[in-house]
Each structure stands twice: as C-alpha cells, then as structure tokens.
C-alpha cells in the first residue's frame, strides 16, 4: 500500500515542536534582518536637499547678505539694469503711467478710458489706493533694487576677471540709473526713503537691528536731491560713465549724467540756474537736432520699423528693435500692423486745451505729428467721427526717448530767463522753433521776463507734449495752481476737477506701503 510515511505520536510531537521552533527562528530571522535593513537604509537618508531649479546665493556661511562670486554673475546684474527697463517696469511704470501723471494729471490729456485710476488723476482726486500710483511706487523701487545689486556688491566680487575699470564703469552706470529714478520719484512724491545699501537677511538675532533698514522712514526732499547730485558726480568721475556712443543711446553715458544734473539744478528746492546752463552746454556738445521733427517718431516708408533709432538728437532712449513696445496699443494704432485697429477707448486722449495751444501758436507741424484723428464707434471725449489720439508711439518698434536735445535746449532757455538773460533764452527757443518752421519769437515776447517765461513754458508744452514733461514744467515754474485751477473754465471736455493745493501738488504715497511700513508717513492732505 502506498502512502505517506506515518510517524509515531512522539515523532509528530517532535515535528510539531521543531516546526514551531523553525517557525520561530524564521520569524526572528525575518524580523531582525528587516530591522537591520531599515536601520542601514535610514542612516543613509539625509534631510539636506539642494534646489534643483534655482540658484542659491549667499548662505549661512556669509553674513547673510547677497554675494556674487564671479564676473559672470555680476555681468548678469549689470545687464539687468538695462533689461529691467525693457520689461514691465520700464514700459508700464516708467512710461505709460508716467505719461498719465505728466499729461492727464496736467492739462494735455483726458483720461481716455474710464478706469478709476485715470479718472482720479484727471480730476485731481487721487488717493492712496490708486492702483497705478501703487504699482509705480513698487516698480520704481524695483529699478532702484536692480541698480543697488550692482552698486552695493560690485566692489566685493572676488573674481579678478572683473577688472577695476569695469567695476568703476558699471557702478557709474548703475548710479546714473538710480539717480534718474530717484529724481522722478522725488518730483512725484516729495521725500522718499533713500535706499543706498542692501541690509542682511532678517534672523531672530538681528531683527531689532535691521528692522529700520527694512522699514525705512522717508528722507527729506533736500536729502534726496543731495544724494542724486552726489551720485551723478561720482558717476562723472574719470573712468566712470562712458562717453556718449552715437550708435547706441541705450547707455547711461556722461551726457545722460550731465543732462540729469542740468534738470536737477533747475528743479530742486534751492535752485542753481547757473549750473543748469553749464550742464546744458556740456550736453549740447554731444548731440544735434534731427532736421525733420516728424522723423523722431515716424515709422519708415516700408512700415516695417521706425525711421530713426539712436538719432543724433536722442540722449537716452530705450529701444525696441524686436517690436516689444506694447505701449503703442495703449495709445492708438500700430502702423506696422495692417490688422491693427482702434478697438477700444485708448488712454491719453489729447485735450481741447492742448489743441487750442497748437492752434494759437500756429504750430501745424508738431500738431500733426503729436495728434491724429480717426473715426471710431465711441464718443467718450470727442464725436465718434473725429476722435483724437496721441501719436508719438505709432508702432511697437518705437523707442522710448527719455531725454533729447530739444528738451535740454528749452531747459537752458528757462534757466537763462531765470538768470535774467532773455536774449540767450530767445536764441535757444528760436533754434527749436526753426526746426518746425515757426518764426522767431516776437520782440514783445522777448522783452519781458514774464512773457518770456510763459513763452518758454508754452514752447516746452508744444515741443514735448506726451513725452513726460508737462506736469513737472508747470510745478517747477510755479504755474501749477494758476493753470490747473482755471482749466475747467478753458477746457469744456475736462471732467470737473478738485482744486489743486499745496498739499495735492504731490502724489499720495500708496496706502498699502504705509500699512506695511509704519515708519513712512503719508503726504499731508491725503
């Protein structure tokens, strides 16, 4: 009989106990080996992870402040001070919104679209929650930070490939940018916090000490201007800013620094018109007027690009050879794009007051270049069949020309008027007028200081309309109250305006920044 081998009970018992002992041993082997395996595995795990897609700068082995180690890293930051101007900070904050402050807020333009921010500025009702004011304050300080990354760190870069010459020059260019931005800010808001250093990272140990550096109070206007002048003078030291390059005006050159100094001395609380004239003359040596006014802004005949880039008259411009200037869409039609049409109510609609100024001056050349008429389907400011649009950015290839010679010539004229030299003032104005086929100023105008001052102011208005000058011109010449508080009676298309007072001549600081930083105090009147 086949079958399984049988066992005696004793054998079974032994087998059972042996089995369970085998089981036991198996269990123990299993558990111990798993446990050991886990211990080995866990001891090899670490909790230190380095970022895969970002760079780590600084670190706990430094004082926590930002450090650049190689020339390449600093080169990236140096190029950054130019690149930032071609992005939103340059296009939106420093051009589009700046033009609203200088043109709509003054008497050259209406709001165009019905946005609350624009409406407030047209009506002189601006307040701390105005979205444009907030984004511009933030945007300008972002540009200051970009400049500071070069200014504060370039000397500490250990890489010898970064030469002494480069260090001085790059720093100078960054200082000029910083001064330019601070100049615009102090004119708009008054005293601003001076940010000249980069404080270290906040830790629980240093928080008391660094808190005022992160939450700075405002400096006075005088302190800000003093810093601007000091920075520009540093930049003008030998080996600093480069001389002007006729083929590339997108450089912070010595000419730019001179132009800025000219403006600063004419605008700061305690003026020095003599210095203004001096610096204007230095600038004149480096530039010359473009013979045809239209060419400054025009599109070429093939309608593929602008006619002139880096013109002889331009002192500092931000070029867009790639067609990246989207501001054109905010103001009108893009002449290089056949599909572009007037599809919404644009910003900066030219005002009746400005048109009247062109007419009474007999200035057809500049009127035709600055303003165009079109037929559209809305009628917010003008009848829909002849609606006005500003025309100094007719394509997406247009540069933003921040400083040009005509501005400097007329500034020189203004300085001469204030110094009492009316003849020289008239000479400068006439050069500008001649370019647009206007006759010289009549003797009745040039004979008196008041009428000469008005003439210069008016010439600036017509020449530099929609170029970011009008509001500052009015304030600098002490004409803001007179002109603006009577504007409603002169310009029927203007929304009813609140009276402009000494308190509302400056813009309010953004309420959000005051909430974040209790050390900053709002401008009185807001």
Helices (H), 246-392: 254-267, 273-284, 327-331, 352-361, 364-370
Q: How far is the CB of 93 from other proteins (least distance, A)?
A: 11
Taking CB under 8 A as the binding criterion, the range among 30-38, 155-163, 281-289, 360-368 that sits at the site for other proteins is 30-38
CA distances in angstroms from 410 to 10, 457, 460, 464, listed in the order given: 122, 9, 7, 10
Q: How far is the CB of 329 from other proteins (least distance, A)?
A: 9
Q: Residue 38 contacts by C-beta under 8 Å, 6 or more apart in sequence?
A: none
**Window 131 to 160, contacts with other proteins (CB under 8 A):** 131, 137-138, 141-142, 144-146, 148-149
Question: Does residue 28 belong to the site contacting other proteins (CB under 8 A)?
Answer: yes
**# of chain residues touching other proteins (CB under 8 A):** 95
For other proteins, give the closer residue by CB, 48 or 301: 48
Task: Label residue 269 exposed, middle or buried (CB < 10 Å: 0-12, 13-18, 19+).
Answer: exposed
Question: Does residue 9 belong to the site contacting other proteins (CB under 8 A)?
Answer: yes
For other proteins, give the closer residue by CB, 175 or 425: 175
Question: Does residue 35 belong to the site contacting other proteins (CB under 8 A)?
Answer: yes
- Out of 11, 21, 25, 76, name the contact with other proteins by CB under 8 A: 76
For other proteins, give the closer residue by CB, 278 or 324: 324
How far, in Å, CA of 222 to CA of 226, rounded? 6
Element (H, E) at 489: helix 487-490
Q: How far is the CB of 436 from other proteins (least distance, A)?
A: 31
- Out of 18, 25, 294, 516, name the contact with other proteins by CB under 8 A: 516
Buried b (16+ CB within 10 A) or exposed e, 120-157: bbbbbebebebebbbbbbebbbebbebbbbbbbbbeeb
- Out of 58, 190, 242, 493, name the contact with other proteins by CB under 8 A: 58
Helices (H), 114-269: 116-122, 131-151, 164-189, 207-214, 221-235, 254-267
Taking CB under 8 A as the binding criterion, the range among 57-65, 98-106, 407-415, 434-442 that sits at the site for other proteins is 57-65
For residue 311, the 8-state DSSP code is: -
Q: How far is the CB of 307 from other proteins (least distance, A)?
A: 17
Q: How far is the CB of 387 from other proteins (least distance, A)?
A: 10
For other proteins, give the closer residue by CB, 30 or 163: 30
Neighbours of 100 (CB within 10 A): 25
Q: How far is the CB of 433 from other proteins (least distance, A)?
A: 35
Question: Does residue 190 belong to the site contacting other proteins (CB under 8 A)?
Answer: no
Q: Closest Cα partner for 389 from 381, 377, 398, 399?
A: 381
Check: CB of residue 197 under 8 Å from CB of residue 153. Answer: no
Check: CB of residue 146 under 8 Å from CB of residue 80. Answer: yes
Return phi, psi of residue 50, to 5°: -100, 145
Q: Closest Cα partner for 305 from 335, 340, 331?
A: 335
Q: How far is the CB of 91 from other proteins (least distance, A)?
A: 13
Following CA atoms 488, 491, 494, 500 in sequence, which dihedral angle do they give, to the nearest 10 degrees? -40
**Window 334 to 393, contacts with other proteins (CB under 8 A):** 339, 343-345, 376-380, 384
- Out of 195, 259, 308, 318, name the contact with other proteins by CB under 8 A: 195
Question: Does residue 305 belong to the site contacting other proteins (CB under 8 A)?
Answer: no
Neighbours of 387 (CB within 10 A): 21
**Window 199 to 258, contacts with other proteins (CB under 8 A):** 199, 201-204, 207, 211, 214-216
Q: How far is the CB of 2 from other proteins (least distance, A)?
A: 9
Q: How far is the CB of 294 from other proteins (least distance, A)?
A: 24
Q: How far is the CB of 43 from other proteins (least distance, A)?
A: 11
For other proteins, give the closer residue by CB, 18 or 38: 38
For the record, the structure tokens of 106 come out as 């003054």
For other proteins, give the closer residue by CB, 44 or 360: 44
């Amino acid at each position: 009989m086949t079958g399984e081998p049988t066992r005696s009970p004793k054998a079974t018992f032994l087998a059972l106990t042996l089995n369970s002992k085998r089981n036991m041993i198996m269990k123990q082997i299993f558990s111990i080996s798993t446990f050991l395996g886990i211990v080995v595995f866990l001891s090899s795990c670490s909790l230190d992870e380095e970022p895969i897609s970002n760079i780590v700068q600084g670190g706990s082995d430094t004082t926590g402040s930002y450090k650049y180690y190689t020339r390449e890293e600093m080169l990236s930051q140096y190029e950054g001070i130019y690149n930032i101007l071609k992005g939103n900070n340059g296009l939106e904050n420093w051009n589009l919104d700046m033009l609203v402050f200088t043109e709509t807020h003054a008497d050259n333009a209406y709001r165009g679209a019905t946005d609350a921010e624009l409406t407030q500025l047209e009506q002189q009702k601006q307040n701390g929650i105005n979205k444009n004011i907030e984004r511009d304050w933030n945007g300008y300080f972002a540009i200051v930070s970009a400049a500071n990354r070069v200014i504060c760190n370039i000397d500490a870069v250990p890489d010898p490939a970064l030469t002494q010459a480069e260090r001085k020059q790059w720093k100078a260019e960054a200082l000029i940018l910083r001064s330019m931005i601070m100049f615009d800010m102090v004119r708009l808001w008054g005293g601003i916090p001076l940010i000249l250093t980069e404080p270290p990272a906040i830790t629980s140990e240093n928080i008391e000490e660094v808190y005022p550096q992160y939450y700075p109070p405002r400096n006075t206007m005088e302190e800000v201007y003093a810093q601007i002048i000091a920075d520009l003078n540093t930049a003008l030291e030998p080996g600093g800013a480069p001389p002007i390059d006729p083929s590339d005006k997108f450089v912070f050159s010595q000419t730019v620094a001179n132009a800025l100094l000219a403006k600063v001395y004419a605008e700061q609380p305690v003026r020095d018109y003599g210095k203004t004239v001096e610096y204007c003359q230095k600038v004149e040596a480096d530039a010359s007027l473009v013979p045809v006014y239209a060419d400054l802004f025009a599109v070429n005949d093939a309608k593929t690009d602008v006619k002139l880039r880096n013109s002889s008259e331009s002192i500092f411009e931000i070029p867009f050879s790639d067609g990246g200037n989207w501001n054109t869409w905010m103001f009108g039609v893009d002449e290089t794009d056949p599909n572009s049409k007037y599809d919404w109510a644009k910003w900066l609609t030219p005002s009746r007051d400005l048109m009247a100024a062109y007419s009474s001056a007999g200035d057809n050349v500049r009127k035709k270049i600055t303003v165009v008429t079109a037929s559209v389907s809305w009628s917010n400011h003008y009848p829909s069949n002849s609606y006005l649009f500003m025309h100094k950015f007719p394509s997406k290839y247009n540069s933003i020309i921040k400083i040009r010679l005509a501005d400097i010539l007329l500034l020189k004229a203004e300085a001469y008027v204030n110094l009492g030299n009316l003849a020289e003032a008239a000479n400068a104005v006439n050069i500008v007028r001649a370019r647009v086929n206007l006759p010289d100023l009549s003797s009745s105008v040039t004979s008196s200081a008041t009428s000469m001052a008005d003439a210069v102011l008016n010439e600036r208005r017509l020449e530099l309309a929609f170029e970011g000058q009008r509001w500052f011109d009015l304030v600098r010449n002490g004409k803001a109250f007179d002109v603006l508080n009577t504007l409603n009676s002169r310009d029927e298309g203007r929304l009813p305006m609140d009276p402009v007072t000494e308190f509302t001549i400056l813009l309010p600081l953004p309420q959000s920044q005051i909430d974040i930083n209790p050390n900053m105090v709002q401008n009185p009147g807001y």
